[in-house]
Amino acid sequence: MSKRSVIQLSEFNITQRIIESLSNVCTRSVLFSVKNESKDVTQIANELKISLSTVYKTLATLEELALAEVDKYIISSEGKKIKLYRSRIGKVEITLDDLEPILHLYPNETTTQ
């Protein structure tokens, strides 16, 4: 499956899924955690004081919705390949027009560190 662009999200008619996902405080926290700096799952879990499994599940959802991505890989001191995640969006606006939600996603312009 090819990666969806931020602009293509509306074309896949998943606006409702994105809005529902972003209404979850845990999802927003994980997404905001990786907005300005790429981080691995352990860093995110420690920072937010949530379980590793919750972070993995949340990142899987964010990747599926094309809101987050693996920014790069690093090799740990034990030789393990570690994924660093980054938010693909920098700003979200949700408006209502005749009771229909309109979702505006803006790319994350933050450079990785």
CATH for 7-107? 1.10.10.10
DSSP-based three-state secondary structure for 37: coil
Q: Which of 111, 107, 85, 81 is nearest to 33 (CA)?
A: 85
Binning pLDDT at 50, 70 and 90, where does residue 12 land?
Answer: low
Cα–Cα distance measured from residue 108 to residue 7, given in angstroms and rounded to the nearest whole number: 12
**Domain regions of the chain by residue span:** 7-107
Q: Which position has the higher pLDDT, 10 or 75?
A: 75
Band of pLDDT at residue 108, cut at 50, 70 and 90? very high
14-70 pLDDT, tens per residue? 788 898 899 999 999 999 999 999 999 999 999 999 999 999 999 999 999 999 999
**Residue 68 near residue 85, CB atoms below 8 Å:** yes
